[in-house]
Amino acid sequence: MSDHNPIVLSICMTAYNRADLLKDTLNRLKFLNQWPISVELVIADNGSKDHTWRVIKAMQAELPMIRPLRYASNIGQYRCQMALFRSVRGRYTLYLADDDHFIQENVLAIIQFLEANPQAVACYSPIDIWDDLNEQVVASIFHFKETKLFKRHEAFEMFKFITHYAIVPEHAIYRTEALVHCSYYFTNFYFYYNIMFRLLDYGEVLFYPKPFYRLVRRHKKQFEKFESKDAQKFLARDTHLVAHGTEVAMNLALKAVGHRIVPEDLRGHMLDLLNRFNNRWLQAASNANLETHNFTAATEYFRRRCLWDSCDNVNINVADITMDEWESRFVKMALLQAIAEQVRDIPGKGRLILCELSDNPQAIAQQIKQLFPDTLIQSMTADEVLKSPDQSFFIVMTYSSEIRQRLIDHGLFPGRVILPQEYVRNFKIR
Protein backbone atom coordinates (compact mmCIF):
# COMPACT_ATOMS: atom_id res chain seq x y z
CA MET A 1 0.00 0.00 0.00
CA SER A 2 1.37 3.34 -1.01
CA ASP A 3 1.88 6.20 1.46
CA HIS A 4 0.14 8.33 -1.18
CA ASN A 5 -3.15 6.58 -0.41
CA PRO A 6 -5.71 9.43 -0.17
CA ILE A 7 -7.64 7.69 2.66
CA VAL A 8 -5.72 8.15 5.89
CA LEU A 9 -7.92 6.26 8.36
CA SER A 10 -10.38 3.38 7.98
CA ILE A 11 -12.84 3.07 10.88
CA CYS A 12 -14.41 -0.39 11.01
CA MET A 13 -17.74 -1.13 12.70
CA THR A 14 -19.85 -4.27 12.98
CA ALA A 15 -23.56 -4.17 13.81
CA TYR A 16 -26.10 -6.85 14.66
CA ASN A 17 -29.73 -6.15 15.61
CA ARG A 18 -28.96 -2.82 17.28
CA ALA A 19 -30.29 -0.35 14.74
CA ASP A 20 -31.23 2.44 17.16
CA LEU A 21 -27.96 2.18 19.04
CA LEU A 22 -25.99 2.24 15.79
CA LYS A 23 -27.90 5.32 14.64
CA ASP A 24 -27.08 7.11 17.89
CA THR A 25 -23.38 6.27 17.50
CA LEU A 26 -23.30 7.38 13.86
CA ASN A 27 -24.95 10.68 14.77
CA ARG A 28 -22.07 11.26 17.18
CA LEU A 29 -19.60 10.71 14.33
CA LYS A 30 -20.82 13.59 12.17
CA PHE A 31 -17.69 15.52 13.15
CA LEU A 32 -15.90 13.29 10.63
CA ASN A 33 -17.32 15.52 7.87
CA GLN A 34 -15.05 18.31 9.11
CA TRP A 35 -12.07 16.21 10.12
CA PRO A 36 -8.59 17.32 8.97
CA ILE A 37 -7.80 13.85 7.59
CA SER A 38 -9.65 11.72 5.02
CA VAL A 39 -11.65 8.86 6.50
CA GLU A 40 -13.73 5.91 5.38
CA LEU A 41 -16.30 4.33 7.68
CA VAL A 42 -16.62 0.64 6.80
CA ILE A 43 -19.75 -0.78 8.45
CA ALA A 44 -20.88 -4.40 8.27
CA ASP A 45 -24.47 -5.42 8.95
CA ASN A 46 -23.70 -8.85 10.38
CA GLY A 47 -26.94 -10.57 9.33
CA SER A 48 -29.31 -8.33 11.34
CA LYS A 49 -33.01 -9.10 11.42
CA ASP A 50 -34.06 -5.58 12.45
CA HIS A 51 -33.75 -2.34 10.44
CA THR A 52 -29.95 -2.01 10.88
CA TRP A 53 -29.34 -2.06 7.11
CA ARG A 54 -31.86 0.75 6.50
CA VAL A 55 -30.15 2.85 9.19
CA ILE A 56 -26.74 2.35 7.55
CA LYS A 57 -28.04 3.24 4.09
CA ALA A 58 -29.97 6.27 5.36
CA MET A 59 -26.96 7.60 7.28
CA GLN A 60 -24.86 7.60 4.09
CA ALA A 61 -26.58 10.88 3.17
CA GLU A 62 -25.19 12.50 6.34
CA LEU A 63 -21.89 10.58 6.46
CA PRO A 64 -20.88 10.08 2.82
CA MET A 65 -17.68 8.32 3.86
CA ILE A 66 -19.75 5.26 4.92
CA ARG A 67 -18.97 2.14 2.89
CA PRO A 68 -21.57 -0.51 3.82
CA LEU A 69 -21.19 -4.30 3.72
CA ARG A 70 -23.99 -6.77 4.38
CA TYR A 71 -23.97 -10.42 5.45
CA ALA A 72 -26.92 -12.74 4.86
CA SER A 73 -26.41 -14.33 8.30
CA ASN A 74 -24.39 -13.63 11.44
CA ILE A 75 -20.83 -14.89 10.96
CA GLY A 76 -19.77 -13.93 14.51
CA GLN A 77 -18.51 -10.62 15.83
CA TYR A 78 -14.77 -11.34 15.79
CA ARG A 79 -14.81 -13.09 12.43
CA CYS A 80 -16.68 -10.11 11.03
CA GLN A 81 -14.06 -7.74 12.48
CA MET A 82 -11.27 -9.63 10.77
CA ALA A 83 -13.18 -9.60 7.47
CA LEU A 84 -13.48 -5.82 7.77
CA PHE A 85 -9.76 -5.46 8.51
CA ARG A 86 -9.14 -7.21 5.20
CA SER A 87 -11.58 -4.90 3.38
CA VAL A 88 -10.19 -1.43 4.15
CA ARG A 89 -8.42 1.11 1.97
CA GLY A 90 -6.92 3.49 4.53
CA ARG A 91 -3.28 3.74 5.60
CA TYR A 92 -4.39 3.17 9.19
CA THR A 93 -7.20 1.07 10.66
CA LEU A 94 -9.23 1.46 13.85
CA TYR A 95 -12.06 -0.76 15.11
CA LEU A 96 -14.99 1.03 16.78
CA ALA A 97 -17.78 -0.93 18.45
CA ASP A 98 -21.25 0.30 17.55
CA ASP A 99 -21.87 1.52 21.11
CA ASP A 100 -18.54 3.20 21.88
CA HIS A 101 -16.68 6.47 21.17
CA PHE A 102 -13.15 7.61 20.49
CA ILE A 103 -11.31 10.76 21.53
CA GLN A 104 -10.72 12.82 18.40
CA GLU A 105 -7.59 14.70 19.39
CA ASN A 106 -5.81 11.60 20.70
CA VAL A 107 -6.56 9.61 17.56
CA LEU A 108 -5.12 12.44 15.47
CA ALA A 109 -2.05 12.68 17.72
CA ILE A 110 -1.37 8.95 17.36
CA ILE A 111 -1.74 9.07 13.59
CA GLN A 112 0.64 12.03 13.52
CA PHE A 113 3.17 9.98 15.51
CA LEU A 114 2.77 6.98 13.19
CA GLU A 115 3.21 9.21 10.14
CA ALA A 116 6.45 10.60 11.61
CA ASN A 117 7.69 7.13 12.66
CA PRO A 118 7.15 4.73 9.76
CA GLN A 119 8.85 1.92 11.68
CA ALA A 120 5.89 1.87 14.14
CA VAL A 121 3.06 -0.42 12.97
CA ALA A 122 0.49 -0.11 15.78
CA CYS A 123 -0.41 1.94 18.83
CA TYR A 124 -2.12 0.62 21.97
CA SER A 125 -3.51 2.98 24.61
CA PRO A 126 -5.50 2.70 27.87
CA ILE A 127 -9.23 2.08 27.48
CA ASP A 128 -11.55 4.34 29.50
CA ILE A 129 -15.09 3.59 30.68
CA TRP A 130 -17.27 6.62 29.97
CA ASP A 131 -20.50 7.42 31.84
CA ASP A 132 -22.78 8.93 29.21
CA LEU A 133 -25.23 10.38 31.74
CA ASN A 134 -22.69 12.31 33.81
CA GLU A 135 -20.29 12.80 30.89
CA GLN A 136 -17.20 11.65 32.73
CA VAL A 137 -14.65 8.85 32.84
CA VAL A 138 -15.56 6.50 35.70
CA ALA A 139 -12.80 3.87 35.35
CA SER A 140 -10.14 2.45 33.06
CA ILE A 141 -9.84 -1.14 31.89
CA PHE A 142 -6.08 -0.69 32.24
CA HIS A 143 -3.66 2.22 32.31
CA PHE A 144 0.06 3.00 32.22
CA LYS A 145 1.99 6.28 32.44
CA GLU A 146 4.95 5.84 30.10
CA THR A 147 5.31 5.79 26.34
CA LYS A 148 6.99 2.56 25.23
CA LEU A 149 8.12 1.39 21.81
CA PHE A 150 9.09 -2.27 21.41
CA LYS A 151 11.12 -3.88 18.65
CA ARG A 152 10.99 -7.56 17.72
CA HIS A 153 14.06 -8.50 19.78
CA GLU A 154 12.31 -6.89 22.78
CA ALA A 155 9.25 -9.15 22.51
CA PHE A 156 9.84 -10.75 25.91
CA GLU A 157 10.06 -7.30 27.53
CA MET A 158 6.78 -6.39 25.80
CA PHE A 159 5.19 -9.55 27.23
CA LYS A 160 6.26 -8.53 30.73
CA PHE A 161 4.90 -5.02 30.09
CA ILE A 162 1.42 -6.17 29.02
CA THR A 163 1.11 -8.70 31.85
CA HIS A 164 2.27 -6.15 34.43
CA TYR A 165 -0.38 -3.64 33.35
CA ALA A 166 -3.03 -6.26 32.37
CA ILE A 167 -3.28 -4.69 28.92
CA VAL A 168 -6.28 -5.63 26.78
CA PRO A 169 -5.23 -5.36 23.12
CA GLU A 170 -8.74 -5.23 21.63
CA HIS A 171 -8.49 -1.63 20.43
CA ALA A 172 -5.51 -0.18 18.62
CA ILE A 173 -4.66 2.04 15.68
CA TYR A 174 -2.88 -0.16 13.14
CA ARG A 175 -0.77 0.52 10.10
CA THR A 176 -2.97 -1.33 7.62
CA GLU A 177 -0.16 -2.80 5.57
CA ALA A 178 1.08 -4.67 8.64
CA LEU A 179 -2.37 -5.54 9.97
CA VAL A 180 -3.49 -7.38 6.83
CA HIS A 181 -0.75 -9.97 7.37
CA CYS A 182 -1.96 -10.71 10.92
CA SER A 183 -5.75 -10.57 10.69
CA TYR A 184 -6.60 -14.24 10.99
CA TYR A 185 -9.37 -15.18 13.46
CA PHE A 186 -8.42 -17.99 15.84
CA THR A 187 -11.53 -19.33 17.59
CA ASN A 188 -9.97 -21.08 20.59
CA PHE A 189 -8.08 -18.21 22.18
CA TYR A 190 -8.23 -14.44 22.44
CA PHE A 191 -6.62 -13.78 19.05
CA TYR A 192 -5.83 -10.08 19.61
CA TYR A 193 -2.71 -11.14 21.52
CA ASN A 194 -1.65 -13.06 18.42
CA ILE A 195 -2.08 -9.90 16.33
CA MET A 196 -0.10 -7.82 18.83
CA PHE A 197 2.97 -10.06 18.77
CA ARG A 198 2.76 -10.92 15.07
CA LEU A 199 2.95 -7.19 14.34
CA LEU A 200 6.52 -7.22 15.67
CA ASP A 201 7.47 -9.10 12.48
CA TYR A 202 6.64 -5.93 10.52
CA GLY A 203 7.82 -3.12 12.76
CA GLU A 204 7.68 -1.62 16.24
CA VAL A 205 4.68 -1.63 18.57
CA LEU A 206 3.86 1.59 20.43
CA PHE A 207 2.18 1.95 23.84
CA TYR A 208 0.86 5.48 24.29
CA PRO A 209 -0.41 6.56 27.76
CA LYS A 210 -3.21 8.89 26.59
CA PRO A 211 -6.41 6.89 25.90
CA PHE A 212 -8.13 7.26 22.55
CA TYR A 213 -10.93 4.71 23.09
CA ARG A 214 -13.97 4.84 25.39
CA LEU A 215 -16.31 2.04 26.37
CA VAL A 216 -19.63 3.80 26.91
CA ARG A 217 -22.19 3.18 29.64
CA ARG A 218 -25.48 4.51 28.31
CA HIS A 219 -28.49 5.39 30.49
CA LYS A 220 -31.12 6.27 27.91
CA LYS A 221 -34.18 4.04 28.28
CA GLN A 222 -34.23 2.94 24.64
CA PHE A 223 -30.76 1.45 25.09
CA GLU A 224 -31.40 -0.47 28.33
CA LYS A 225 -31.76 -3.84 26.63
CA PHE A 226 -28.43 -3.35 24.88
CA GLU A 227 -26.70 -2.33 28.11
CA SER A 228 -27.99 -5.34 30.04
CA LYS A 229 -26.73 -7.70 27.35
CA ASP A 230 -23.43 -6.10 26.46
CA ALA A 231 -22.09 -4.39 29.59
CA GLN A 232 -19.99 -7.46 30.42
CA LYS A 233 -18.32 -7.38 26.99
CA PHE A 234 -15.22 -9.50 26.69
CA LEU A 235 -14.33 -9.10 30.41
CA ALA A 236 -17.12 -11.44 31.42
CA ARG A 237 -17.40 -13.61 28.34
CA ASP A 238 -13.94 -14.56 27.28
CA THR A 239 -11.75 -14.88 30.37
CA HIS A 240 -10.75 -18.45 29.51
CA LEU A 241 -9.90 -17.35 25.95
CA VAL A 242 -7.72 -14.58 27.39
CA ALA A 243 -5.83 -17.13 29.49
CA HIS A 244 -5.17 -19.16 26.34
CA GLY A 245 -4.26 -16.00 24.45
CA THR A 246 -1.60 -15.00 26.98
CA GLU A 247 0.04 -18.41 26.53
CA VAL A 248 0.08 -17.86 22.77
CA ALA A 249 1.57 -14.39 23.38
CA MET A 250 4.24 -15.98 25.58
CA ASN A 251 5.04 -18.48 22.82
CA LEU A 252 5.38 -15.72 20.19
CA ALA A 253 7.47 -13.56 22.53
CA LEU A 254 9.89 -16.40 23.22
CA LYS A 255 10.00 -17.35 19.54
CA ALA A 256 11.00 -13.76 18.67
CA VAL A 257 14.01 -13.99 20.98
CA GLY A 258 15.08 -17.44 19.81
CA HIS A 259 13.37 -19.87 22.25
CA ARG A 260 10.93 -22.63 21.37
CA ILE A 261 9.95 -23.41 24.97
CA VAL A 262 10.14 -21.54 28.26
CA PRO A 263 13.73 -21.79 29.57
CA GLU A 264 14.09 -23.52 32.94
CA ASP A 265 15.46 -20.40 34.63
CA LEU A 266 12.42 -18.35 33.52
CA ARG A 267 9.61 -20.81 34.27
CA GLY A 268 8.85 -19.65 37.78
CA HIS A 269 8.87 -16.02 36.72
CA MET A 270 6.66 -16.66 33.67
CA LEU A 271 4.12 -18.68 35.67
CA ASP A 272 3.97 -15.89 38.25
CA LEU A 273 3.33 -13.32 35.50
CA LEU A 274 0.56 -15.43 33.99
CA ASN A 275 -1.10 -16.15 37.33
CA ARG A 276 -1.14 -12.50 38.40
CA PHE A 277 -2.40 -11.41 34.99
CA ASN A 278 -5.17 -14.01 34.87
CA ASN A 279 -6.18 -13.22 38.44
CA ARG A 280 -6.74 -9.57 37.47
CA TRP A 281 -8.90 -10.71 34.57
CA LEU A 282 -10.94 -12.91 36.90
CA GLN A 283 -11.48 -9.92 39.17
CA ALA A 284 -12.64 -7.80 36.23
CA ALA A 285 -14.96 -10.58 35.06
CA SER A 286 -16.48 -10.88 38.55
CA ASN A 287 -17.13 -7.13 38.62
CA ALA A 288 -18.67 -7.10 35.16
CA ASN A 289 -21.03 -9.98 35.98
CA LEU A 290 -22.11 -8.37 39.24
CA GLU A 291 -22.99 -5.18 37.35
CA THR A 292 -25.34 -7.11 35.07
CA HIS A 293 -26.79 -9.30 37.87
CA ASN A 294 -25.25 -12.50 36.51
CA PHE A 295 -24.51 -13.83 39.98
CA THR A 296 -23.81 -17.44 39.03
CA ALA A 297 -21.04 -16.41 36.62
CA ALA A 298 -19.66 -13.87 39.14
CA THR A 299 -19.46 -16.65 41.73
CA GLU A 300 -17.58 -18.88 39.30
CA TYR A 301 -14.97 -16.20 38.63
CA PHE A 302 -14.67 -15.31 42.31
CA ARG A 303 -14.15 -18.99 43.19
CA ARG A 304 -11.33 -19.20 40.66
CA ARG A 305 -9.74 -16.06 42.10
CA CYS A 306 -9.69 -17.67 45.51
CA LEU A 307 -7.31 -20.35 44.23
CA TRP A 308 -4.62 -17.69 44.59
CA ASP A 309 -5.76 -16.16 47.91
CA SER A 310 -6.71 -17.59 51.28
CA CYS A 311 -10.49 -17.91 51.65
CA ASP A 312 -10.09 -16.72 55.22
CA ASN A 313 -8.52 -13.46 54.09
CA VAL A 314 -11.18 -10.78 54.62
CA ASN A 315 -9.21 -8.45 52.37
CA ILE A 316 -10.13 -10.42 49.25
CA ASN A 317 -12.16 -7.85 47.37
CA VAL A 318 -14.32 -7.96 44.27
CA ALA A 319 -15.98 -4.59 43.62
CA ASP A 320 -14.90 -3.61 47.20
CA ILE A 321 -16.71 -6.62 48.69
CA THR A 322 -15.08 -8.83 51.31
CA MET A 323 -15.37 -12.61 51.37
CA ASP A 324 -17.89 -12.41 54.27
CA GLU A 325 -20.07 -9.97 52.34
CA TRP A 326 -19.83 -12.13 49.24
CA GLU A 327 -21.08 -15.18 51.10
CA SER A 328 -23.88 -13.35 52.88
CA ARG A 329 -25.16 -11.29 49.90
CA PHE A 330 -24.28 -12.74 46.53
CA VAL A 331 -24.46 -16.47 47.18
CA LYS A 332 -28.21 -16.11 47.76
CA MET A 333 -28.54 -14.07 44.56
CA ALA A 334 -26.72 -16.80 42.63
CA LEU A 335 -29.11 -19.40 44.09
CA LEU A 336 -32.20 -17.42 43.06
CA GLN A 337 -30.76 -16.87 39.59
CA ALA A 338 -30.08 -20.60 39.17
CA ILE A 339 -33.64 -21.45 40.19
CA ALA A 340 -35.07 -18.83 37.81
CA GLU A 341 -32.95 -20.28 35.00
CA GLN A 342 -34.34 -23.75 35.70
CA VAL A 343 -37.87 -22.36 35.36
CA ARG A 344 -36.90 -20.75 32.06
CA ASP A 345 -35.49 -24.05 30.76
CA ILE A 346 -38.77 -25.96 31.15
CA PRO A 347 -40.46 -26.45 27.74
CA GLY A 348 -43.68 -24.51 27.65
CA LYS A 349 -44.94 -22.28 30.44
CA GLY A 350 -42.51 -22.99 33.29
CA ARG A 351 -43.46 -21.76 36.76
CA LEU A 352 -41.70 -21.49 40.10
CA ILE A 353 -43.80 -22.80 42.98
CA LEU A 354 -42.95 -21.60 46.49
CA CYS A 355 -44.23 -24.50 48.54
CA GLU A 356 -45.02 -23.92 52.24
CA LEU A 357 -41.95 -21.74 52.83
CA SER A 358 -41.39 -20.96 56.50
CA ASP A 359 -40.06 -17.43 55.91
CA ASN A 360 -41.70 -14.68 53.86
CA PRO A 361 -42.51 -16.14 50.40
CA GLN A 362 -43.70 -12.73 49.13
CA ALA A 363 -40.27 -11.25 49.82
CA ILE A 364 -38.55 -14.09 47.96
CA ALA A 365 -40.93 -13.73 45.01
CA GLN A 366 -40.34 -9.99 44.92
CA GLN A 367 -36.56 -10.47 44.99
CA ILE A 368 -36.67 -12.91 42.09
CA LYS A 369 -39.03 -10.66 40.11
CA GLN A 370 -36.72 -7.67 40.56
CA LEU A 371 -33.81 -9.61 39.12
CA PHE A 372 -35.63 -11.83 36.62
CA PRO A 373 -39.00 -10.17 35.86
CA ASP A 374 -40.18 -12.79 33.35
CA THR A 375 -40.23 -15.57 35.97
CA LEU A 376 -43.76 -16.85 36.72
CA ILE A 377 -44.13 -17.44 40.47
CA GLN A 378 -46.94 -18.89 42.60
CA SER A 379 -47.29 -19.92 46.25
CA MET A 380 -48.95 -23.30 46.86
CA THR A 381 -49.33 -25.95 49.53
CA ALA A 382 -48.12 -29.46 48.83
CA ASP A 383 -51.72 -30.60 48.40
CA GLU A 384 -52.33 -27.87 45.83
CA VAL A 385 -49.22 -28.89 43.91
CA LEU A 386 -50.34 -32.52 43.78
CA LYS A 387 -53.86 -31.57 42.62
CA SER A 388 -52.65 -29.22 39.88
CA PRO A 389 -52.93 -30.47 36.28
CA ASP A 390 -49.94 -28.25 35.39
CA GLN A 391 -47.38 -29.85 37.71
CA SER A 392 -45.26 -30.98 34.74
CA PHE A 393 -44.40 -27.26 34.26
CA PHE A 394 -43.38 -26.69 37.89
CA ILE A 395 -40.08 -26.08 39.61
CA VAL A 396 -40.93 -26.45 43.29
CA MET A 397 -38.90 -24.73 45.99
CA THR A 398 -39.40 -25.98 49.56
CA TYR A 399 -37.33 -26.01 52.75
CA SER A 400 -38.93 -29.26 53.97
CA SER A 401 -37.26 -32.59 53.16
CA GLU A 402 -40.51 -34.34 54.04
CA ILE A 403 -42.53 -32.26 51.57
CA ARG A 404 -39.91 -32.83 48.90
CA GLN A 405 -40.02 -36.59 49.37
CA ARG A 406 -43.82 -36.60 49.37
CA LEU A 407 -43.95 -34.72 46.06
CA ILE A 408 -41.38 -37.05 44.52
CA ASP A 409 -43.29 -40.11 45.76
CA HIS A 410 -46.37 -38.78 43.96
CA GLY A 411 -44.59 -38.45 40.63
CA LEU A 412 -42.83 -35.06 40.51
CA PHE A 413 -39.36 -35.15 38.96
CA PRO A 414 -36.68 -35.22 41.70
CA GLY A 415 -34.60 -32.63 39.84
CA ARG A 416 -37.51 -30.18 39.84
CA VAL A 417 -38.14 -30.21 43.60
CA ILE A 418 -35.42 -28.03 45.11
CA LEU A 419 -34.22 -27.79 48.69
CA PRO A 420 -32.52 -24.37 48.61
CA GLN A 421 -30.45 -25.11 51.72
CA GLU A 422 -28.84 -27.98 49.76
CA TYR A 423 -28.75 -26.39 46.32
CA VAL A 424 -26.98 -23.30 47.63
CA ARG A 425 -23.88 -25.45 48.22
CA ASN A 426 -23.20 -25.12 44.48
CA PHE A 427 -22.42 -21.44 45.01
CA LYS A 428 -20.73 -21.32 48.39
CA ILE A 429 -17.00 -20.68 48.28
CA ARG A 430 -16.05 -21.47 51.87
pLDDT band, very low/low/confident/very high, at 237 (cuts 50, 70, 90): low
Q: What is the pLDDT of residue 315?
A: 38
Q: In whole angstroms, give the CA distance from residue 217 to residue 132.
A: 6
The stretches of 209-344 forming alpha helices (DSSP H) are 224-230, 233-237, 239-256, 267-291, 295-305, 323-325, 331-344
Q: Please state, in angstroms and rounded to a whole number, the distance separating the CA atoms of residues 135 and 118.
A: 36
At 41-70, the pLDDT tens digits run 999 999 999 999 999 999 999 999 999 999
Query: For 4-16, what is each residue's pLDDT tens digit?
Result: 558 999 999 999 9
pLDDT at 430 over 80: no
As a whole number of angstroms, the distance between CA 367 and CA 418 comes to 18
Q: Are strands 172-175 and 92-95 parallel, antiparallel or unpaired?
A: antiparallel
pLDDT at residue 224 tops 50: no
Per-residue pLDDT, 258: 79
Cβ neighbours, 10 Å, residue 312: 8
Rounded to two decimals, the pTM is: 0.70
Answer whether 58's CB lies under 8 Å from 28's CB: no
Q: 241-299, pLDDT tens digit by residue? A: 666 677 777 778 878 877 777 778 777 777 777 777 777 777 777 776 776 678 887 88
Q: Sorting pLDDT into bands at 50, 70 and 90, what band is 230? A: very low
The tens digit of pLDDT for each residue in 166-205 reads 888 889 999 999 998 887 766 666 778 889 999 999 999 9
In this predicted structure, the answer to whether residue 314 has a pLDDT above a threshold of 50 is no
In 3D, which of 213, 205, 223 has the Cα closest to residue 140? 213
pLDDT at 45: 95
Provide the mean pLDDT of the chain: 84
